[in-house]
Amino acid sequence: MNASSLKLGFIGLGIMGAPMCGHLIAAGHQLFVNTVGKVPAPIAESSATQCTTARGVAERADIIFVMVPDTPDVEKVLFGEDGVAAGLKGSSGKIVVDMSSISPVATKDFAKRIEAAGAQYLDAPVSGGEVGAKNATLSIMVGGPDAAFARVKPLFEKMGKNITLVGGNGDGQTAKVANQIIVALNIEAVGEALLFASRAGADPARVREALLGGFASSKILEVHAERMIKRTFDPGFRIALHQKDLNLALSAAKELGVSLPNTANAQQLFNACVAHGGAAWDHSGMVRALEFMANFEVGQKVQES
């Protein structure tokens, strides 16, 4: 079956899923879609066919993409009543691609259950946020069989730029958890640096500009430092979702006997933000927790004594 004749399914049309699905539609593929709530206008007004259940998507599509918030959501989409697995019965050659960020342990179990239903399984979580989803520049970390990856890779290339087969099922999710550890600790570092500079009386915007040209430069310094300075904490990527990812890291670390002290500290800072009503803030809003402790905000003018 050639790529141009593939029928694709997409389940989960949220902040990330909607633009990702849109790129596949724009590439000329036939899409069957399902989501909780209202289908976003760009998808509803496209050539995509709306299905009332995940089962309906799986029955019609050759490759089914899933992009939902958390492990229980994926399990419900795949194995709940009228879920994907029910739509795979009696078929062969289909591939289920979970692009959500969920538990690596659960992912291995899901893969076995989908294989038992007659399809192959790829876990393919992404990094790059809403901007990356809209611009088709996501990094995609994939776990699963080589043959399934080779078949889906041209579709991944419609949604992202850095596409890597990390290993077997679950390894994509493990890479994503590692990614979220790095991102959280970078946000904390940038927040501390800008808060320090501001409290010392320096202009944080100019400090950021100076640091972008040196060894401290990073995507977090480029994008999230600007959010901290401009006080724009609309997501983006919600703190509640990053908390979920760090919970995956910390629970897995406990099972592995690994200590992740700075990851635990970052989670505590997110917890403080949530306690102040920030579950829906962009994760760059972690700086607010540091500001609460300092009783000072990034960009605030220092009062002369």
Listing DSSP states for 241-276 in one string gives: HHHHHHHHHHHHHHHHT---HHHHHHHHHHHHHHHT
Could you report how far apart the first and last alpha carbons of the chain are, in Å? 74
Note the pLDDT of residue 301: 94
Together in a domain, 21 and 158: yes
Q: Cα(118)–Cα(92) distance, rounded to whole angstroms?
A: 6
Together in a domain, 164 and 270: no
Stretches in the chain below the pLDDT threshold 50: 1-3
Note the pLDDT of residue 4: 53
Note the pLDDT of residue 304: 76
Last residue of a domain, one of 168, 191, 220: 168
CA dihedral 235, 222, 153, 170 (to 10 degrees): -70
Show Cβ contacts of residue 204 under 8 Å, excluding neighbours closer than 6 positions: 194, 197, 198, 225, 228, 229, 298, 299
- Per DSSP, 8 falls in state E
Together in a domain, 161 and 180: no
Amino acid at 305: S
Whether residue 31 contacts residue 10, with contact meaning beta carbons closer than 8 Å, is answered with yes
Residue 25: domain span:
7-168
Note the pLDDT of residue 251: 94
How many folded domains does the chain comprise? Answer: 2
Chain center to CA of 44: 23
Q: Cα(189)–Cα(243) distance, rounded to whole angstroms?
A: 17
Q: Cα(305)–Cα(296) distance, rounded to whole angstroms?
A: 16
300 inside domain: no
Last residue of a domain, one of 117, 147, 168: 168
Note the pLDDT of residue 157: 98
Last residue of a domain, one of 119, 152, 168: 168
Note the pLDDT of residue 279: 98
Q: Cα(241)–Cα(303) distance, rounded to whole angstroms?
A: 37
Whether residue 160 contacts residue 133, with contact meaning beta carbons closer than 8 Å, is answered with no
- pTM of the predicted model as reported, rounded to 2 decimal places: 0.90
Together in a domain, 27 and 71: yes
Cite the active site residues.
176
Together in a domain, 102 and 219: no
Note the pLDDT of residue 1: 42
Classify burial at 108, counting beta carbons within 10 Å of its beta carbon; exposed 0-12, middle 13-18, buried 19 or more: middle
